[in-house]
Amino acid sequence: MQHFEVLVIGSGPAGQQAAIQASTLGKSVGIVERKPRIGGAGLRTGTIPSKALREIAYLASRQGQRGMREALSSGRQPGIELLGEAIRKKDMVIAQQESVILSRLMLSGVPLIPGEAHFIDEHTLGVKTLQGETARYSVDVIVLATGSRPRRPPEVPFDKKTVLDSTSILNLRELPSSLTVVGGGVIACEFASFFAALGAKVTIVDSHEQILSYLSVDIVEALSDAMRMMGIEFLMQCRVKNIVHEQGRVRASLENGSAIVSDCLLFAQGREPNYEHLNIECAGLAAEDQGWIPVNEHFQTHRPHIYAVGDLIGKPALASTGMEQGRLAVQHAFGSVESKQSRQLPMAIYTIPELSYVGKTERQLRSEGADYVVGRGYFRDSARGQIIGDQSGLLKMLVERKTRHVLGIHIVGESASELVHIGQLIMNLGGTVDDLVENVFNYPTLAECYKIAAQECVRSLQS
């Protein structure tokens, strides 16, 4: 029976970083992957392919809805052409990233073990190969990074053609004229904006009062307004009663008695963890009520030598956070003095336009009774924003009155996912709003909005 000091189950972003970190510490480490190709959902069916689709859709949005409508009226079908281009780009990026990941693992001396892993006991794993044979491995430290998959309730008639989840929608070869999106979370909003930009008529149905209900109202309103400009219709505080196929289309009946008929329907209401084949009970583990694997602040399960990271442990369930969790888990397992998590982690939503944030929302600060001021930098007030024509972009800054520390940064608009890192660094390094006022930003850039928002905060602090 072969022995590893560390065995990582799953080759997605979290698993990759865990394995590379273990190799960096000089440990014998391997990765088990049950799929024919490496990369997990992050590379195959989630982060990378959806963002490749977004880039093509974003180009279409820059042409403007008027240009898209004129092309359609002339007999051209630009959305279909762009969808084909998006599929080609997605496949190209996946292939390139797979090559990069393989190179990194090879350089780190991390072997790939193909097969499906399961616990025999808390220190022994079996890996079943495609040939049906089972190899056994004894392991000191185990890192579970098996990810998640779209939630597929049995009452929803998924067929991968007209009723879709976030995986199967990436395999569409024809652009639907109309798309109903059930859900108002990250995945729902991202795909709604992608397909609207390509020319589809999109309707979002969600039970909450606003999409992305946990975010700041004014930031979400800016995003919602931009999505409405793309032709997206919102049916909020509505619930879908049932979904049926109807003459090659899809009918979604709502609890209020109305119905929506569309060419396709995307069901995007959550994800669920992948551990059904792991036999976690053989290691003395159990999932919590919501299905996720419970861990402590060091990502340890109830068995201290078994760690769980990434989507398997629930929110925030982002590739970026999963990668950091994988790195930190291995550092902690071997007592590394560097085992310290960044205090502030950035979040990004790749809608059109992008939305990104770090730190706390106003809702959280009010509930804590915090004394803070707000500053806003509108893209339209910056030279760069005027050049690119972004009239709705907004950078919002929350600053504590007493210490002048930045408590939160919330951005909607072009390059929001990149801009947020400036605020993240200021917050993690203990900087103040004055540091942003005194800093010199390239001109013209959207980063100028930091200075605009910071100056507004300073004025409020002086009043």
Instruction: Give the CATH number of the domain where residue 418 resides.
Output: 3.30.390.30
Q: Are residues 211 and 161 in the same domain?
A: yes
CATH number at residue 120: 3.50.50.60
> Does residue 136 lie in a domain region?
yes
Report in angstroms the alpha-carbon separations of 226 from 10, 82, 169, 249, 389. Answer: 38, 21, 23, 28, 13
> Does residue 60 lie in a domain region?
no
**83-95 as b/e: b if 16+ CB within 10 A:** beebbeebeebbe
> Does residue 380 lie in a domain region?
yes
Q: Are residues 182 and 143 in the same domain?
A: no
> Does residue 417 lie in a domain region?
yes
Tell which wins on pLDDT, 164 or 320: 164
Q: Are residues 258 and 306 in the same domain?
A: no
CB 167 within 8 A of CB 150: yes
pLDDT in tens, 125-153: 999 987 888 999 999 999 999 999 999 99
Sign of CA dihedral 339, 340, 346, 347: positive
> Does residue 259 lie in a domain region?
yes
Instruction: Report whether pLDDT(243) > 80.
Output: yes
Longest CA–CA separation in the chain, Å = 73
Instruction: Report whether pLDDT(73) > 60.
Output: no
Q: How confident is the model at residue 61 (pLDDT cuts 50, 70, 90)?
A: confident
Concatenated DSSP letters for 337-349? TT----S---EEE
pLDDT in tens, 108-125: 999 999 999 999 999 999
Instruction: Report whether pLDDT(71) > 70.
Output: no
> Does residue 73 lie in a domain region?
no
Q: What is the pLDDT of residue 78?
A: 58
Instruction: Report whether pLDDT(63) > 70.
Output: no
Q: Which of 242, 269, 296 finishes a domain?
A: 269
Q: Are residues 29 and 119 in the same domain?
A: yes
Which has the minimum average pLDDT: 72-81, 148-157, 173-182, 331-340? Answer: 72-81
Q: What is the pLDDT of residue 60?
A: 78
Instruction: Report whether pLDDT(300) > 80.
Output: yes
Residues spanned by the domain of 108:
2-45+87-150+272-333
Q: Are residues 328 and 364 in the same domain?
A: no
Instruction: Report whether pLDDT(64) > 70.
Output: no
CB 359 within 8 A of CB 387: no
Q: Are residues 247 and 213 in the same domain?
A: yes
Q: What is the value of pTM for the model shown? A: 0.91
Report helix angle 78-107 to 13-24, nearest 10.
Answer: 20
What mean pLDDT comes out for the span 260-272? 96
What burial class does residue 20 get, using C-beta atoms within 10 Å of its C-beta: 0-12 exposed, 13-18 middle, 19+ buried? buried
CA distance 155 to 269: 13
Instruction: Report whether pLDDT(336) > 90.
Output: no
Q: What is the pLDDT of residue 69?
A: 46
- 355 Cβ contact partners less than 8 Å away, ≥ 6 residues apart: 212, 215, 219, 220, 223, 348, 349, 411, 412, 416
Q: Are residues 298 and 204 in the same domain?
A: no
Q: Are residues 262 and 276 in the same domain?
A: no
Q: Are residues 221 and 183 in the same domain?
A: yes
Q: Specify the 3-state DSSP secondary structure of 43.
A: helix
Left, alpha or beta for 52 (phi > 0: left; psi -120 to 50: alpha)? Answer: alpha
pLDDT in tens, 340-381: 666 788 999 999 999 999 999 999 999 999 999 999 999 999
What mean pLDDT comes out for the span 48-75? 68
Report in angstroms the alpha-carbon separations of 353 from 5, 223, 303, 446. Answer: 45, 7, 43, 14
Q: Are residues 458 and 377 in the same domain?
A: yes
What mean pLDDT comes out for the span 446-461? 97
Q: What is the pLDDT of residue 339?
A: 52
> Does residue 184 lie in a domain region?
yes
Token digits for 458? 């300073």
Q: Which of 302, 333, 364 finishes a domain?
A: 333
Beta pairing partners, 233? 203
Residue 169 DSSP symbol: G
Q: How confident is the model at residue 383 (pLDDT cuts 50, 70, 90)?
A: very high
Q: Which of 281, 298, 333 finishes a domain?
A: 333
Report in angstroms the alpha-carbon separations of 242 from 11, 162, 258, 269, 312. Answer: 36, 15, 11, 14, 29
Q: How many CA atoms lie within 13 A of 243 on its CB side?
A: 25
CB 222 within 8 A of CB 305: no
What mean pLDDT comes out for the span 333-346? 76
What mean pLDDT comes out for the span 67-90? 62
pLDDT in tens, 192-203: 999 999 889 999
What is the chain's percent helix, strand, coil content, to nearest 5? Answer: 40, 25, 35
What mean pLDDT comes out for the span 47-76? 68
Residue (of 463, 455, 317, 321) closest to 395 by Cα position: 455
Q: Are residues 163 and 125 in the same domain?
A: no
Find where tokens 């007030």 sit: 381
* DSSP run (H or E) holding 70: helix 47-73
Instruction: Report whether pLDDT(250) > 70.
Output: yes
CA distance 272 to 413: 30
CA angle 351, 242, 196 (to 5 degrees): 25
pLDDT in tens, 388-420: 988 889 999 999 999 999 999 999 999 999 999
Q: What is the pLDDT of residue 233?
A: 97
Domain count, the chain: 3
Q: Are residues 31 and 138 in the same domain?
A: yes
For a pLDDT cut of 90, what percent of the chain falls above it?
Answer: 76
Q: What is the pLDDT of residue 68?
A: 47
Q: What are phi and psi of 324, to 5 degrees?
A: -70, -40
Residue type, 340: K
Token digits for 432? 């103040």
> Does residue 54 lie in a domain region?
no
